[in-house]
Structure 1
């Protein structure tokens, strides 16, 4: 039966971008957020058709997958292996060939192809495990992670999210990362929309005055520093910790809180919805971020966008992304942290930091991030 000729000229002009969407889960706060906003931003481009690979049973409280994929005009494909599986390297070439991929984007270097898929790029977000063995669950995990990252870095074009991380990648993997390969994460405009505080999250009643921290409970997050800080604050102050506890690591918080007598002043919320997270930022007194190392520190930017003053550890990446819009303090000084929190209760400094933070995040919108990613993809 004869068929009508199909005009494929437009298709030839458009590249086919395959994106590993397995990071769109509650397990990956910053990486998942970045993937979400990139998919939204890519919906407006005329340069790429996009296929998003997800697991068959993938679900998330934070990300509406139907909206992020089909709702943005993208195509869904199933890639039913976890990010930690070594079998994915065998399966990727066939999956990408069937998708017709000419460019492949892996939002996380732990997963993604090393062959097939046309031009390949991956995000190496940080060198946390590389920097200190204590930040890895065990020696074997650290060795395998570094081996896999090295392989991805040598077979993919590396993107990263800060100049600080670019320097670390060059130091550990001997892979050059040029300024155009730095694609910092942005901030969702909804954080600046002014959410209302809420009295409770689910069954958990929220304290009237609290310091907020957001992020998975892992050693490099240094949450114990906030427990020590809390012991130097008046009894009305509480600590709200948002994020799952990584069971691969010992959690020092319960024992330390008991020793310091502050157990009743700590609220732990393992998982919250996007709307709940916005309300938590809106109701907090201060956002505290005592990390020992980060690739970017997206919650810090989210807090500034929400109009929340920030106290953070004095590390290179926070100097880079916060500039003068946060109070930066050595992480091992709990009394100084407490003094900083109290100084921001009601003072000209609080208003100055809020204004400076909002100005700073305007340099880190998702529109800027997507534009930089598209520029980087063109230069591959």
Structure 2
């Protein structure tokens, strides 16, 4: 990576699209939260956070992140999916005097106005496979919107794997300094007490854990196919909402395979609850077919869990030797990898490698690279 650009001798007015601070956007919202915490007290930036009127979240303390950190709040009453925002953004950004604008999600944010503009293109999931989009129209609109944002803003992304996909689909070069790797909140490493129940559901004594919204690319059905190959006392705990735009094959498949009683689904959990569920898991399992980064993988490593993940480019990049990587469509290989973790030496080696990995992927490192990228835009 090129040497960091020194801080300029001026105060920029940074506008951040805070509409991603919602329960719907796990990793994207976490990125925005991190950046707000790290900008607090900076003499380099004045900050305005745009949110929707009455915006609420179970995952994020929106009032604390804005007024609590001394930022200004501005309202922008359009959803992230509305094309009308391209018309409305310039005037909104002029009103707050923005000289830098950061859009944590490529579906939101301006294509003109707002000074120097950066937008995160986190992945090319829908671009890679039409099955990963709710329908053809949504996919076409998403790609049109992302193409416009990518060509009119400085692209920022979360991994080199995503950078390569962005260059392939949108013909936009992404340099090393535009890759902002994921960070892990230090609270995940503080040894939470394992949860015994969440939202009235008892948690089993032995379970493997997956975190993420229920969408086709997450390949949750692949994990259901693994359960019959594991001992009966192994259970599967799934954290994340079910995306109603997609058919959910899990209930029917679990019934067909006779493992429905071994699955717990927790649609929404608080931050404290999430730490406790991580703490009680036997392993973290991540069977995705494609990801832009995979923040839960890093959170699980920080929490001291061994990880079994799909052998895909981004996980090879992020996990390296700190996870067991197996083909996403091979249930027997998944079962064998999970059962390998019963060997104390193998388990300890993976946990140690994961700990070493996340010590190099802190939010402070992410924030430093983010600030460097903002200065270079």
Equivalent-residue separation in structure 1 for 2:340 and 2:12 (angstroms): 53
Q: Is structure 2 residue 72 aligned with structure 1 residue 75?
A: yes
Task: State the shift of 1:377 in Å.
Answer: 0.9
Per-residue CA distance 1:163-219 (angstroms, 9 max, x = gap): 000000000000000000000120000001111101101211110000000000000
8 Å CA contact 1:233–1:338 kept in 2: the answer is yes
> 2:249 pairs with 249, 252, 261, which one?
252
Deviates more, 1:216-225 or 1:70-79: 70-79
8 Å CA contact 1:70–1:76 kept in 2: the answer is yes
Q: CA 1:44 to 1:364, structure 2 compared with 1: closer, same or farther past 3 Å?
A: farther
> 1:55 pairs with 35, 52, 55, which one?
52
Equivalent-residue separation in structure 1 for 2:114 and 2:265 (angstroms): 42
8 Å CA contact 1:211–1:285 kept in 2: the answer is yes
Task: State the shift of 1:45 in Å.
Answer: 2.3
Task: State the shift of 1:345 in Å.
Answer: 2.2
8 Å CA contact 1:309–1:357 kept in 2: the answer is yes
Partner SS for 1:72: coil
User: What is the 5 A alignment of 1:147-166?
Assistant: 147-166=144-163
TM-score of the aligned structures, taking structure 2 as reference length: 0.97
Equivalent-residue separation in structure 1 for 2:128 and 2:42 (angstroms): 37
Q: Is structure 2 residue 332 aligned with structure 1 residue 373?
A: no
Query: Moved runs in structure 1, 4+ residues, more than 6 A?
Result: none
Counterpart of 2:304 in structure 1 is: 307
Q: Is structure 2 residue 23 aligned with structure 1 residue 26?
A: yes
Equivalent-residue separation in structure 2 for 1:121 and 1:351 (angstroms): 41
Structure 1 runs not aligned, ≥5 long: 1-11
User: What is the 5 A alignment of 1:320-339?
Assistant: 320-339=317-336
8 Å CA contact 1:285–1:345 kept in 2: the answer is no
User: What is the 5 A alignment of 1:205-354?
Assistant: 205-354=202-351
Task: State the shift of 1:68 in Å.
Answer: 0.8
Per-residue CA distance 1:64-115 (angstroms, 9 max, x = gap): 0011111112111111110011111111011100011000000000010001
Partner SS for 2:360: helix
Equivalent-residue separation in structure 2 for 1:196 and 1:372 (angstroms): 33
Equivalent-residue separation in structure 2 for 1:349 and 1:46 (angstroms): 48
Equivalent-residue separation in structure 1 for 2:342 and 2:66 (angstroms): 42
Partner SS for 2:325: strand
> 2:97 pairs with 95, 100, 104, which one?
100
Counterpart of 2:181 in structure 1 is: 184
Equivalent-residue separation in structure 2 for 1:309 and 1:236 (angstroms): 19
Equivalent-residue separation in structure 1 for 2:334 and 2:300 (angstroms): 17
Partner SS for 1:364: coil
Counterpart of 1:137 in structure 2 is: 134
Q: Is structure 2 residue 107 aligned with structure 1 residue 116?
A: no
Per-residue CA distance 1:132-163 (angstroms, 9 max, x = gap): 00000000000000000000001100000000
Q: Is structure 2 residue 199 aligned with structure 1 residue 175?
A: no
Task: State the shift of 1:342 in Å.
Answer: 1.2
Task: State the shift of 1:273 in Å.
Answer: 0.1
Partner SS for 1:183: coil
State the Cα RMSD in Å: 1.0
8 Å CA contact 1:312–1:318 kept in 2: the answer is yes
Counterpart of 1:8 in structure 2 is: none
Partner SS for 1:51: strand
Would you say how many aligned residue pairs link Structure 1 and Structure 2?
370
8 Å CA contact 1:24–1:60 kept in 2: the answer is yes
Partner SS for 2:43: coil
Partner SS for 2:98: coil
Task: State the shift of 1:13 in Å.
Answer: 2.1
TM-score of the aligned structures, taking structure 1 as reference length: 0.96
8 Å CA contact 1:188–1:366 kept in 2: the answer is yes
Structure 2 runs not aligned, ≥5 long: 1-8
Equivalent-residue separation in structure 1 for 2:342 and 2:13 (angstroms): 51
Counterpart of 1:42 in structure 2 is: 39
